Structure formats: C-alpha cells, structure tokens
Amino acid sequence: MERFEGLIAAHFSPFDEKGLVNKSIIKPYVDHLVDNGVVGVFVNGSNGEGPNLTINERMEVAELFQEAAGDRIKTIIHVGHSSIAEARTLAVHAQEIGADAIASVAAFYFKPTSVSMLTDCMAEIASATPELPFFYYHIPSLTGVGMDMIQFLELGRERIPNLQGIKYTAPTLWEYQSCLEYAGDDFDVLYGTDEMLLSALVVGAKGAIGSTFNFAAPLYQKVIQDFRLGNLEEARMLQARLVEMVRILLAFPAIPAQKAVMKMLGFDLGPCRLPLAHSLSESDYTTLKNRLEAIHFFEELKAVAVL
C-alpha cells in the first residue's frame, strides 16, 4: 500500500464576486502549494465548502485541481454527501479524472446510528470505485457523528476492501494514538487538527491534512524537521507560535479569515457562500492582519520559506 505521508493542504474553493467558481486562480494556487512543500491537496472538503457546492460544481472544482496538480502532488477528493447515491457518483467521477484517493464524511442529515451502520454506508460509497483508495473522514464537530474509530477500522478491514484509512479531524489524541497503534502498516491515519500537529507527531503521525497548511506550510515543515532531528524545544516553541496564529484566526469566522490570509499572501480566493459568513469586513481584515503582524507571522513565514 502506498502511504500518504507529509502535509496535505485542504484547499479553499475560489469564487468570484458573483459567487461562481474562479477557474483562473487554481493553477497558480496549486503552484503555490507545490512551492511550499505540501505533498497533496484535499479537494472539496470542509474548507473547500464541498457541501455548499452543487454536484456539477464539485466535479468542476475536482477536475481543475486534478489538472493543476498533475503528477506533482497527490489528490484526495472528498465525495461525501447526505445522499449515498450522489457520493457514489462523485466517487466514480474522481476515479475517471485520475484522483489518487477519495474520502467521505458520514451522512450529516439522516445520520448512521452505530459503527456497523457507518461502516456499511462507507462500504457502499467505496464500492463504487473498488480500485481507488478510500478514507473515512472523521469530523464529528461538523457531522455530529462521533463513534469509536477503532471499531470502525476493525469492521472496515472486513467490509471495505479498498479502505486506506481515516482522516482524523478531532482533538481526541488518545483515540488517534490508539488508531495508529491498531493500524500499523495496514492503514493511514492522517491527522486533521493543525494546532496539535506536534502532539500528533509525538504519538506517531506520519501524515496530516489541514487548512492552515495552505499558507503556513513552511512553518509546519520546520516543526516536523525539528521533531525528526530531536530539536524538541525548537519544535515546541514554533508549534506554540502556530497555536497563537490559530487562536488569532478563531477570533473571526474561520474560513473567511483564512481566505483573508491567502489574500494577504497574494491569492484572492473571493467570498464564501451562505450559510458561512461572506467575507471579513474591511475593519476585521485590517485587525486580523495587524494581529498576525504583531506575532511576526509573516516575517517568520518568509524567513523559513527561504531556508
């Protein structure tokens, strides 16, 4: 099994002022991700506003990111939907355009009520593309589905032949560690809480998927490098500064704030769609920039990027 190791950026979907997909910026956006050392892009997930896109738009965005990625970085395309039939359609499309893997959240309207039912739902989606690696996207804060992931891996081993692993987006590090111990070399368990990356590395993480990797990947790469070299105090101090960055972002609507940071770096990805906040006000944009400058975020990012 080919492993997914390193940093994978969960992209933001770019829209123009009319709310339509901005095709022109995706190629330079992916070039930026490649230049910053990420190994993959997670397409149409939470930060990509996948649930806010139509099926046709999700296919269009997937095609654009797949084309831009080429063979430079891997693509994991999120196909989750409240309709399993629609999720299967998106899975087939992802395979047709050359995705490296697919992923799916649990249905978030009529929810599975047991680990066995969750596994059956994921098996139904994964079976649409039996040769394509499949990740379960565990994000209980958004889906409301929080179940024992060890049990899921146990049942998934039997019922989902192409199960690659889990995108684990939750702060329950003890369960994440248990998943890693159970998975061994059989599954990838990718961590998805950026502000806890160092802690995840300590318990054995090899790969991570995150939104702030879009603009702060060089700093996270330095955390990983320091950790691997045994420079634990340096890694701890840098992770603490990244936590402070996240704390600043969380004072604002999360996805609009992160899109604002991308704009500060030269990538105007446009507004978000309802029911998310449209974008930051001019006042909030300035406040966010000032707070990031006060912790020397942009200076540190520039310094690390040229190392």
User: Is 259 among the catalytic positions?
Assistant: no
Which sign, positive or negative, has the C-alpha torsion 144, 150, 156, 162?
positive
d(CA 275, CA 256): 12
The CA distance from 45 to 61, in Å, is 11
Q: 306: helix, coil or strand?
A: coil
Catalytic residue among 167, 168, 191, 220: 167
What are the helix (H) ranges across the chain? Answer: 26-35, 55-69, 84-96, 115-126, 140-143, 149-159, 173-183, 197-202, 213-229, 232-249, 254-264, 282-294, 297-305
For helices 254-264 and 213-229, the axis angle rounded to 10 degrees is 90
Distance CA(261)–CA(167), nearest Å, equals 24
CB atoms within 10 A of CB 202: 14
Cross-strand partners of 57: none
3-state DSSP assignment of residue 103: strand
Active site residue 27: no
Q: Which long-range contacts (CB under 8 A, 24 or more apart) does 221-225 make?
A: 221/7, 221/36, 221/37, 221/304, 222/304, 222/307, 223/197, 223/198, 224/7, 224/197
Phi and psi at residue 245, to the nearest 5°: -60, -45
Q: Is 144 left (phi over 0), alpha (psi -120 to 50) or beta?
A: left
Catalytic residue, chosen from 137, 168, 176, 191, is 137
Q: Any idea which residues carry the catalytic annotation?
A: 137, 167
